[in-house]
Amino acid sequence: MIYLKKTFLMGILILVVGLIVLAVGLPIGYSEAPLEMSEWRVTWFRIFSAPTEIVPIDTVGIAVNETTLPASFDFIMSDLDFAPYTGSMDEIGLMAKTEVYVPSDGKVRFELGSDDGSALFLDGEIVIDNWGLHAYQPMSKVVSLEKGVHTLEIWWFEWHGSAVLSFKMDEKVTSSDPLYGRVVGGAIVIAGLAVMIVFRPERKK
């Protein structure tokens, strides 16, 4: 009899867990969908001074080249990589723009690294402030994005010494999936009810 009683209580416990899952969802219930990126459109600059505050590179330099770079969610350029575009490895900068199509609402992680300063903008709003004269340092941020097309822009400058620019972002958007929580929660509730019915206490005669 004690065994049956414990099993019945276990059914109630399973039922409660199922109801909680139904109410709050599951942290592991998520989906991933691939992003689509256009090629980067880049304007290259020779700069006259190292900007202490975040300003468009064209306010401290002169455009010397316009190119595209392949659409890439992950790239790193350093020192000699810049010379073909600017004719120099120092006192240079760039402003690069692209569009990203996000197929569903969700979270995306960005990382921007630079020597010297850089900034990342999403739809015109600053997301990562990595500005200043400094050795290479990466900075990252996770951002919630709505489904649709979003604009990304990078501003970067190199004054003296070594020069690096790196960019990384998730290639997939991670979305929480409420349906998953409901299906799993519903299944747990049914399992709890089944246990309660099968192991229900018998009435004394």
How far are the Cα atoms of 7, 18, 28, 149 from residue 192, in angstroms, in the given order?
10, 8, 21, 44
Residues in contact with Ca ion, counted by CB under 5 A, come to a total of 3
161 binds Ca ion (CB under 5 A): yes
Measured in degrees and rounded to the nearest 5, phi and psi for residue 34 equal -70, 140
* Options 45-53, 74-82, 114-122, 197-205: segment touching Ca ion (CB under 5 A): 114-122
Q: State how far the Cα of 128 lies from the Cα of 74, in Å rounded to an integer.
A: 16
Of all helices (H) and strands (E), which one includes residue 198? helix 178-198
| Residue in 129, 136, 147 with CA at minimum distance from that of residue 51 | 129
Task: Report the chain's terminal Cα–Cα distance, integer Å.
Answer: 14
91 binds Ca ion (CB under 5 A): no
State in angstroms the smallest separation of the CB of 41 from Ca ion: 24
Tokens for 155, please give them.
């501003």
State in angstroms the smallest separation of the CB of 65 from Ca ion: 20
Burial of 80 (0-12, 13-18, 19+ CB in 10 A): exposed
Rank residues 53 and 202 by Cβ distance to Ca ion and give the closer one.
Answer: 53
Q: The tokens 């002169």 sit on which residue?
A: 62
State in angstroms the smallest separation of the CB of 176 from Ca ion: 41
Rank residues 15 and 47 by Cβ distance to Ca ion and give the closer one.
Answer: 47
State in angstroms the smallest separation of the CB of 92 from Ca ion: 10
Contacts of 149 (CB under 8 A, 6+ apart): 99, 100, 101, 102
Among residues 44, 102, 116, 153, the one that binds Ca ion under rule CB under 5 A? 116
SS3 assignment, position 52: coil
* Options 36-44, 94-102, 143-151, 159-167: segment touching Ca ion (CB under 5 A): 159-167
Rank residues 139 and 184 by Cβ distance to Ca ion and give the closer one.
Answer: 139
Among residues 91, 115, 153, 170, the one that binds Ca ion under rule CB under 5 A? 115
SS3 assignment, position 20: helix
Q: Which residue is nearest to Ca ion (CB)?
A: 161
Question: Amino acid letter at 180?
Answer: Y
* Options 37-45, 64-72, 137-145, 153-161: segment touching Ca ion (CB under 5 A): 153-161
134 binds Ca ion (CB under 5 A): no
Rank residues 34 and 161 by Cβ distance to Ca ion and give the closer one.
Answer: 161
Binding site for Ca ion (CB under 5 A): 115-116, 161
